[in-house]
Amino acid sequence: MKQQKIFRFSIYILGFVVLALGIISNTKSGLGVTPIISIPYAISLIINFNFGNASMIMYTVLAIVEYIVKGRKFKLYDLLQIPLSFFLTRLFNLFGSFLPDAQTVPMRIFCLVVGIVCTGIGAAMSMNARLVPNPGDGIIQAISDRSKKNPGLVKNIFDIGCVTLTVLIGLLSTGHIVGVNIGTLCAMIGVGRVIAIYDHFLLTKTDKLSGITDDDEDYMSDEIGEMAE
């Protein structure tokens, strides 16, 4: 049991490291970033603000909106999304500090592909651990639960909304589009495919090694309860 918990938390943390690497690889490609990250990325470019800090603000806003959407269903452990966001955005700054911007077309395409693959794998690893979701995933699940709509549909609509807002921010601030490019469309399609492939080959194996069952939705509530006793 203890080894399963260690494996589960290790996969969870490693997932966020890989996710951060993927997101930063996307930014270094210069071909556009994933929809939800496009907003803080565009703002950071327009006002010359730290990308990690802009993302932290974005994630905090999403956590607050999730609280409003969930209402009484908002649980204590959902608040852990905020320190989790701090950890994730510090990884953004770490990887962003030493990964160079791609200068040639082949390198840009390479960074984009690496970014999409790592983002998909990292998202799958962290989500499949069924612990605290990052605010981007948390808000989508909250809206899905509240509206009784399929999470995939909610994500598609949410992504379109994020891209639209990013385009408007760029046009109103600089007169041209910032942070959205062909890579954004590739990420919208590709990340989901990578997650599906990862789950097809590894989900059952990692669930077994982590001791995850279908009854693990309230795992964090149980863990917090144990620590309080």
Q: What is the pLDDT of residues 190-228, one digit of tens each?
A: 988 898 899 889 988 998 888 887 665 555 555 544 443
pLDDT of residue 225: 45
> Per the domain annotation, does 108 fall within a domain?
yes
Structural domain including 143 reads 2-223
d(CA 4, CA 26): 33
pLDDT confidence bin for 110, thresholds 50/70/90:
very high
> Per the domain annotation, does 63 fall within a domain?
yes
Number of domains within the chain: 1
What tens digit of pLDDT does each residue of 158-168 get?
Answer: 889 999 999 99
- DSSP-derived secondary structure for 133-184: PPHHHHHHHHHHHHHT--HHHHHHHHHHHHHHHHHHHHHHHHSS--S-SHHH
- C-alpha 130, offset from chain centre: 14
**Stretch among 20-29, 114-123, 204-213 having the lowest mean pLDDT:** 204-213
> Per the domain annotation, does 228 fall within a domain?
no
- DSSP-derived secondary structure for 51-85: HHHHHHHHHHHHHHHHHHHHGGG--GGGGGHHHHH
If we measure between CA atoms, which residue out of 120, 166, 159, 167 comes closest to residue 140? 159
If we measure between CA atoms, which residue out of 32, 221, 197 comes closest to residue 123? 197
pTM: 0.88
> Per the domain annotation, does 229 fall within a domain?
no
> Per the domain annotation, does 77 fall within a domain?
yes
pLDDT confidence bin for 76, thresholds 50/70/90:
confident
Residue type, position 27, single letter: T
What's the Cα-to-Cα distance from 1 to each of 8, 132, 211, 212, 222, rounded to whole Å? 11, 20, 7, 11, 15
pLDDT confidence bin for 77, thresholds 50/70/90:
confident
Residue type, position 40, single letter: P
Residue type, position 86, single letter: F
